[in-house]
């Protein structure tokens, strides 16, 4: 029998010990390899938990730890992105010689960011889940402002202020959920996801739905759903590229997990249509806003930030549709997006350092100067827009199939049209970067990218391609089982 308590303890202790060693030893090269080793071990542990996770909710750790198939899937995405970002960080951070004396702090913060994301999905108490999400905000804000440029500091403060305001609303929603339970269980009781679901049918409809809307808006701010997304373009575009990958590919999934767990409480209360429709509307609005801003972007990472808004909208739509097919598509989309968006931020980081600019209009003839890295980045761009034969095409198609059978089939056509428009706008930017005019003589890139810069791009692209050509039957069964188990 698998000892999940021991696996989870190791998942938390190993990064914690690594952080202490990095800060104590203060040696940048040692820190980068220690962080890499930590990420490898963390990935192995999340994979072990995913493979062995039971087909039911497992509560352990004095009722404070909750392990479910969906939670294990989110953990796996965190471990996957943390590993890729740790490999890439070695090559990327070495391109910032002015930051070398502080690199041990960067790697300690990166490991700390990963640790906070490994804690949150396992919290059985919604209040402690909220605290863990708050810690992810605090640690990642230091990473967003790590380079200490004016734009980075501004983005970090904006991130803190906007997300903190959203989380304050989420906390109020949790308080209302708890208050609703006092009508059934008395003035004090254990605040757990299961208890809130149990009492939901007896909570007044208005109170239950108000509590859900507050948590939806609050944690939706952390996810970056429109119109609460205003922090996302700045934070994703100004932080170091490995941090951007972790923000987009890992952190946003965790906040969305929280929304889905609160949605399950509304479902238990018998008001499924209202809750799912509210989430669906925010998902469609996010797609619409993302499409508008992707069209007019010039900054490479800023465009990818709006792409994150798009894909969080797709996930919100998938969970909003409900039903086993759309749910499976959303889970599949989650891992494909984690891989693909990591690849895209790595490519953007490479080109920004090579051309010395964030502007895509000045990144010209990338295939001529970087034929391999540029080609992988281009393939990643095709994949991130949901084009075949890559994984995101298959996951988006599955979500659309599930939506046809849902109570809100209108969103299927809106989603399909917006995805086509986003594909055209996104690829138009890459058309100019590949076939645009020659760069000026003083703008010709001369930087030589190392294996550390290109290897993680390949490690992300290959599985995205494989998952587009082949959906393992075991995964489908796992998704169907996850749908039946309380999240």
pLDDT in tens, 178-194: 999 998 898 899 999 99
Task: Say which range, 2-6, 203-207, 341-345, has the weakest mean pLDDT.
Answer: 2-6
Residue 304, pLDDT score: 95
Average pLDDT over residues 133-148: 94
Task: Say which range, 314-318, 378-382, 405-409, has the weakest mean pLDDT.
Answer: 405-409
pLDDT tens track for 462-486: 999 999 999 888 899 999 999 998 8
Phi/psi at 101 (5° precision): -60, -20
Identify whether the C-beta of residue 12 lies closer than 8 Å to the C-beta of residue 115.
Answer: yes
Q: What percent of the chain has pLDDT over 90?
A: 84
Identify whether the C-beta of residue 42 lies closer than 8 Å to the C-beta of residue 15.
Answer: yes
Residue 90, pLDDT score: 95
DSSP strands (E only) in 34-139 = 58-60, 65-67
Measure the CA–CA gap between 8 and 30, rounded to whole angstroms.
26
Examine the pLDDT at 358 and tell me if it is beyond 80.
Answer: yes
Residue 198, pLDDT score: 94
Output 58-63 pairs: Cβ under 8 A, ≥24 positions apart.
58/4, 59/124, 59/192, 59/194, 60/4, 60/5, 60/8, 61/5, 61/8, 63/124, 63/190, 63/192
pLDDT tens track for 87-103: 999 999 998 877 778 89
- The mean pLDDT value of the chain amounts to 94
DSSP conformation class of 247: I
Average pLDDT over residues 293-298: 91
Residue 141, both tokens: 């804000």
| Local confidence band at 446 (pLDDT 50, 70, 90 cut-offs) | confident
Average pLDDT over residues 309-330: 96
pLDDT tens track for 34-82: 999 999 999 999 999 999 998 888 999 889 999 999 999 999 999 999 9
67 forms beta bridges with: 58
| Local confidence band at 222 (pLDDT 50, 70, 90 cut-offs) | very high
| Local confidence band at 1 (pLDDT 50, 70, 90 cut-offs) | low
Q: Is residue 470 classed as helix, strand or coil in its secondary structure?
A: coil
Residue 486, pLDDT score: 82
Examine the pLDDT at 270 and tell me if it is beyond 90.
Answer: no
Question: Max CA-CA distance within the chain?
Answer: 75
**For the chain, domain boundaries:** 4-484
Which among 235, 208, 211 has a CA at the least distance from the CA of 223?
235
CA distances from 397 to 13, 184, 319, 328, 386 (A): 40, 42, 14, 11, 9
């Amino acid at each position: 029998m698998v000892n999940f308590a021991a696996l989870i303890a190791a998942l938390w202790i190993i990064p914690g010990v690594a952080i202490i060693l990095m800060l104590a030893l203060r040696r940048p090269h040692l820190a980068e390899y220690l962080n890499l080793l930590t990420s490898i071990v963390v990935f192995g542990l999340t994979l072990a938990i995913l493979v062995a996770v039971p087909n039911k909710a497992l509560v352990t750790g004095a009722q404070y730890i909750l392990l479910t198939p969906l939670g294990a899937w989110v953990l796996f995405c965190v471990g996957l992105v943390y590993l890729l970002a740790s490999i890439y960080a070695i090559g990327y951070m070495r391109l910032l010689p002015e930051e070398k004396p502080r690199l041990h702090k960067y790697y300690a913060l990166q490991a700390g960011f990963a640790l906070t994301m490994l804690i949150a999905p396992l919290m059985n108490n919604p209040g402690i889940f909220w605290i863990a999400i708050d810690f992810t905000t605090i640690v990642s804000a230091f990473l967003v402002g790590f380079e200490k440029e004016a734009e980075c500091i501004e983005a970090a403060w904006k991130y803190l202020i906007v997300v903190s305001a959203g989380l304050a609303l989420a906390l109020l929603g949790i308080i209302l959920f708890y208050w609703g339970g006092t009508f059934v269980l008395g003035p004090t009781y254990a605040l757990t996801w299961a208890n809130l679901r149990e009492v939901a049918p007896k909570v007044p409809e208005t109170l239950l739905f108000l509590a859900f809307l507050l948590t939806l808006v609050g944690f939706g701010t952390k996810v970056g759903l429109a119109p609460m997304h205003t922090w996302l373009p700045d934070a994703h575009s100004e932080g170091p590229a490995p941090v951007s990958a972790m923000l987009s590919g890992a952190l946003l999934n965790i906040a969305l997990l929280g929304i889905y767990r609160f949605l399950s409480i509304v479902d238990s209360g018998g008001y499924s249509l209202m809750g799912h429709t509210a989430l669906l509307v925010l998902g469609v609005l996010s797609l619409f806003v993302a499409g508008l801003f992707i069209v007019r972007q010039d900054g490479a990472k800023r465009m990818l930030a709006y792409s994150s808004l798009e894909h969080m909208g797709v996930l919100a739509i998938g969970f909003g549709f409900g039903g086993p097919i759309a749910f499976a598509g959303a889970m599949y989309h989650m891992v494909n997006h984690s891989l693909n968006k990591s690849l895209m931020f790595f490519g953007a980081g490479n080109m920004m350092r090579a051309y010395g600019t964030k502007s895509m209009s000045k990144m010209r003839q990338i295939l001529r100067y970087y034929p391999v890295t540029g080609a992988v980045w281009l393939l990643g761009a095709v994949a991130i827009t949901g084009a075949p034969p890559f994984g995101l095409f298959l996951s988006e198609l599955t979500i659309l199939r599930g939506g046809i059978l849902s109570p809100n089939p209108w969103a299927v056509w809106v989603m399909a049209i917006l995805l086509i428009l986003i594909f055209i706008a996104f690829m138009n930017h890459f058309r100019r970067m590949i076939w645009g005019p020659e760069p000026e003589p003083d703008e010709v890139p001369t930087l030589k990218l190392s294996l550390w810069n290109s290897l993680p791009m390949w490690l992300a692209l290959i599985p995205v391609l494989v998952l587009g050509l082949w959906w393992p039957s075991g995964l489908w069964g796992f998704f169907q089982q996850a749908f039946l188990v309380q999240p």
